[in-house]
Amino acid sequence: MELLSQREGRYAQAHTQIDTTELTVDQVVNKILKAMGDLTAPSPSPSGRGRG
């Protein structure tokens, strides 16, 4: 419980949360990579034509 209280402030700054309950390491990695892609992917342009 002490570790959680030490990290609580950092956890609150997270842009996303990943529930790792009952997941394998590979599944966790895949979820992290997907979340990173979702956070770094360019937003679609309003025209629907992409950038440029």
Look up the domain containing 22 and give its range: 16-41
Q: Is the pLDDT of residue 51 over 60?
A: no
Tell whether 32 is covered by a domain.
Answer: yes
Tell whether 34 is covered by a domain.
Answer: yes
Tell whether 6 is covered by a domain.
Answer: no
- Region 9-26: what's the mean pLDDT? 93
Per-residue burial over 1-23, b = 16 or more CB atoms within 10 Å of its CB, e = otherwise: eeeeeeeeeeeeeeeeeeeeeee
Looking at the structure of the chain, the number of domains it has is 1
pLDDT digits (tens, 9 = 90+) for 33-47: 999 887 777 777 776
- Region 17-29: what's the mean pLDDT? 95
